[in-house]
């Protein structure tokens, strides 16, 4: 069956790159088509009717025409612009980190509706939450689960024994937690405290309402962030670019 020449989809704008004098190439994440790239012609002109509907971090409804190389956006309408993200640099930066993770982890034209719904829900949550760090940790663990990288948090990946309620080790190369005996044999493993393991297990269960009630001190929050960054960097084999910006904002208060 021949694909239709014109089609409609919802999308979240993940990335925008200038093309020529007036166009942009957009990276979009959609509910049923996965990640795709498309051209928005003339969108950088002051009188463009589409420009305001295709900003970064916008949830929009699009009409596209199939092109020879890239599809072309012919119509756009904003569903949600997530206004609190536009007026708060920290919230916006957390959201940019979330969309960058999706852009780096996903391949073109691979449908993953749970990942799309997770990203959409996360952008809404970042507009409302007072604990953006916890919201991001929930997002990271849920995204890893949807993409097949769910870390093992209940059984030692070395000796297969149940993890004891003590300080253990997290191994990115193994894909989860090692008991103290196995962790000491793995030179690249990192310590994970009992409290960090408990919170990570809670976040991994997938109940955001319950997870959002967790209160962490600064030390525990930074430990979870460090462990997740370590695991994500190992999987991607590179650093997420927006991490450096988040660290700078935190340093500068």
For residue range 9-59, what is the model confidence (pLDDT) as tens digits?
999 999 999 998 899 999 999 999 999 999 999 888 888 888 889 999 999
Confidence of residue 67 (pLDDT cuts 50, 70, 90): confident
**How many whole angstroms separate alpha carbon 10 and alpha carbon 50?**
15
- Whether the Cβ atoms of residue 65 and residue 74 lie closer than 8 Å to each other: yes
The per-residue pLDDT for 46 is 82
Residue 115 has pLDDT above 80, yes or no: yes
The per-residue pLDDT for 50 is 83
R_g (Cα) of the chain, nearest Å: 20
- C-beta atoms surrounding 251 within 10 Å: 7
Confidence of residue 81 (pLDDT cuts 50, 70, 90): very high
Residue 2 has pLDDT above 60, yes or no: no
- Whether the Cβ atoms of residue 137 and residue 151 lie closer than 8 Å to each other: no
Nearest-CA neighbor of 146 among 173, 118, 169? 118
**How many whole angstroms separate alpha carbon 176 and alpha carbon 202?**
15
Q: Mean pLDDT across the chain, nearest whole number?
A: 94
The per-residue pLDDT for 26 is 97
**How many whole angstroms separate alpha carbon 215 and alpha carbon 125?**
17
Torsion of CA 222, 227, 228, 229, to 10 degrees: 80
The per-residue pLDDT for 51 is 80
The per-residue pLDDT for 140 is 98
Residue 1 has pLDDT above 90, yes or no: no
6-81 CATH pick, 2.120.10.30, 3.40.1190.20, 2.40.50.100, 2.40.50.140: 2.40.50.140
Residue 106 CA neighbour count, 13 Å, CB half: 30
Nearest-CA neighbor of 235 among 195, 170, 175, 146? 175
Q: How many residues does the chain have?
A: 253
pLDDT more than 70, % of the chain: 99
Give the β-pairing of 34-40 and 71-80.
parallel
Token pair of 70 as six digits: 């890239």
Look up the pTM and report it.
0.94
**How many whole angstroms separate alpha carbon 141 and alpha carbon 122?**
12
Residue 73 has pLDDT above 80, yes or no: yes
H or E stretch covering 137: helix 132-146
Token pair of 96 as six digits: 């940019």
Domain extent listing, the chain: 6-81, 89-251
Mean pLDDT of 55-78: 94
CATH numeric code, 89-251: 1.20.1440.120
Q: What is the pLDDT of residues 169-222, one digit of tens each?
A: 999 999 999 999 999 999 999 999 999 999 999 999 989 999 999 999 999 999
Mean pLDDT of 61-77: 93
The per-residue pLDDT for 147 is 97
- C-beta atoms surrounding 110 within 10 Å: 11
The per-residue pLDDT for 123 is 98
């Amino acid at each position: 069956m021949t694909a239709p020449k014109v089609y409609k989809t919802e999308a979240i704008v993940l990335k925008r790159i200038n093309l020529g004098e007036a166009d942009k190439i957009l990276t979009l994440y959609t509910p049923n088509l996965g990640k795709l790239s498309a051209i928005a012609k003339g969108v950088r002109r002051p009188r463009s009717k589409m420009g305001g509907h295709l900003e970064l971090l916008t949830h929009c409804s699009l009409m596209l025409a199939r092109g020879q190389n890239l599809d072309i956006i012919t119509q756009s309408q904003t569903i949600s612009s997530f206004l609190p993200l536009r007026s708060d640099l920290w919230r916006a930066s957390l959201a940019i980190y979330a969309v960058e993770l999706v852009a780096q982890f996903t391949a073109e034209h691979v449908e993953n509706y749970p990942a799309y719904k997770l990203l959409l829900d996360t952008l809404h949550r970042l507009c409302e939450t007072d604990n953006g760090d916890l919201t991001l940790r929930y997002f990271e663990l849920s995204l890893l689960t949807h993409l097949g990288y769910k870390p093992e948090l209940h059984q030692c990946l070395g000796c297969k024994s149940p993890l004891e309620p003590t300080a253990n080790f997290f191994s990115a190369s193994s894909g989860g937690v090692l008991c103290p005996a196995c962790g000491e044999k793995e030179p690249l493993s990192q310590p994970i405290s009992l409290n960090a393991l408990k919170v990570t297990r809670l976040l991994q269960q997938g109940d955001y309402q319950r997870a959002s009630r967790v209160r962490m001190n600064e030390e525990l929050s930074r430990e979870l962030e460090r462990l997740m960054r370590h695991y994500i960097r190992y999987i991607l084999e590179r650093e997420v670019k927006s991490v450096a910006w988040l660290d700078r904002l935190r340093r500068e208060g």
